[in-house]
Structure 1
Amino acid sequence: MDVLKLLEELEEIIESGSSIPFAHKVLVDRDEVLEVIKEIRIHLPDEVKQAQWIKEERQRILVEAQQEADTIIEEANEHVIAMVEQDEITKIARSQAEEIIAEAQMGAKEMRLGARDYADEILSNVEGVLDGLMETVKTNRDELKGMK
């Protein structure tokens, strides 16, 4: 018999006892009440032990659950940090690539401008030489015309 049933039995004994008028007291069979109390004492330690075990088991489960939750949160944070670092590495690489491309484009532009200036200078020199040759040819022709 469990403790709750024994307590219900004790309650019935008290309720079924003879009441003393005007005193709010009840006459009960002493031996019967003491027997129920004795049974309660016998069963109570087992119930208390079981309740204590349940309480400890509950606490152990809560601790395990908290540890698992902490582990999951830590792993999630590490994953987020790794993703952020990868994103940062990607951003840095992309930025460096853009800088390299910009420098290459600037270098190519400078080379084109330098090549154009060089070609213009060469053509200017050729023009000067050709102007000199044209002048010499003209002079020689004039001399030939004057020899007639």
Structure 2
Amino acid sequence: MDLLHLVDKLEELVADSKKVPLGNRIMLPYDRILEIIDELRIAIPNDVREAEELVLNKSSLLRSAEEEAKLVISAAESKASTLMDEHEIVQSARLKADQIIQQGENNLKERINQANQEITKRIEDSRVLAQQEMGAADNYAKQLLERQDRQLQAFTSSVHNGLEQLDRVQNVEQIVNEDTLDTNNIDLGDSQSMELEEEIVIDTTSESENNLELSNENLEQIIDSNNTTEKIVDDFSLDDFDERK
């Protein structure tokens, strides 16, 4: 599977994810993100393998050029041997053979240099591309995970606030219960003070219950969003995605 295909999968996963209330945020499945990152890491070495094939082709190209040069040299030597009856013809043949040999060697060196440059360039391009794509994939995954972490921290803070409110309510109720034991020994003014304290307790309890209900509603929304996201990922298998592409 190529890298662009996997990047498309990441984009589609983000686009299909359910938004979280109270903010421009979304919920993404942690395991699915890691799975796509692993697929990206597996896909990247394909470019490196192609570079290795170019190196192997280099050896084949060198052998082909050497064989061609040998054939040219052999042909030149054969032709020169047929012209050795006459001095001028022999000299001309030798000169021609030397030129052919030199030209063959020059051509061989030039083709070797070109092959080396092409192979080096492709290997470097493949390495740079692989590093860029891996870095982009890692950064994208890191941003998604950091976003999830901020959402979890916000929810945890809401739960802690609710627990603190409940603790304060319980402390006030304990004080009221202790004071109730002495109600037979206090005057009417103290009775009115107790009624005022009970009203404060009722107000504080109501506020804590409201905070707790809000935390529960946020928890239910986050759980529902997470379940919906995981259901979308499960239904959207890799085979279905390949067929649509």
- 1:90 equivalent among 128, 151, 157: 151
- 1:108 equivalent in structure 2: 169
Within 1, Cα distance between the matches of 2:69 and 2:97? 6
- 2:107 equivalent among 40, 46, 53: 46
**Does residue 7 of structure 1 match 2:70?**
yes
% of aligned pairs identical? 9
Within 2, Cα distance between the matches of 1:47 and 1:35? 18
Give aligned pairs, total: 114
Change over 3 Å in CA distance of 1:62–1:42 after alignment to 2: same
Change over 3 Å in CA distance of 1:89–1:5 after alignment to 2: closer
Within 2, Cα distance between the matches of 1:115 and 1:61? 81
Q: Which runs of 5+ in 2 are unaligned?
A: 1-64, 85-89, 189-245
Alpha carbon RMSD of aligned pairs, Å? 3.6
Within 1, Cα distance between the matches of 2:75 and 2:106? 23
Q: Secondary structure at the match of 1:113?
A: helix
Q: Which runs of 5+ in 1 are unaligned?
A: 17-27, 130-148
How far did residue 49 of structure 1 move?
2.0
- 1:68 equivalent in structure 2: 129
Change over 3 Å in CA distance of 1:3–1:63 after alignment to 2: closer
Task: Provide, for residues 78-98 of structure 1, a one-character-per-residue CA deviation record: whole Å limited to 9, x for no partner.
Answer: 234323423432343233223
Within 1, Cα distance between the matches of 2:66 and 2:164? 89
Q: Which has the higher contact order (CA 8 A, sep 6+)?
A: 2
How far did residue 108 of structure 1 move?
2.1
Within 1, Cα distance between the matches of 2:69 and 2:151? 74
How far did residue 67 of structure 1 move?
1.0
Task: Give 1:7's aligned amino acid.
Answer: K
Within 2, Cα distance between the matches of 1:36 and 1:87? 76
Task: Give 1:50's aligned amino acid.
Answer: R
- 1:137 equivalent in structure 2: none
Q: Bigger radius of gyration, 1 or 2? A: 1
- 1:78 equivalent among 110, 115, 139: 139
Change over 3 Å in CA distance of 1:40–1:4 after alignment to 2: farther
**Does residue 55 of structure 1 match 2:111?**
no
Q: Secondary structure at the match of 1:95?
A: helix
Change over 3 Å in CA distance of 1:6–1:53 after alignment to 2: closer
Task: Provide, for residues 28-67 of structure 1, a one-character-per-residue CA deviation record: whole Å limited to 9, x for no partner.
Answer: 8364566444212123323322321222122111111111
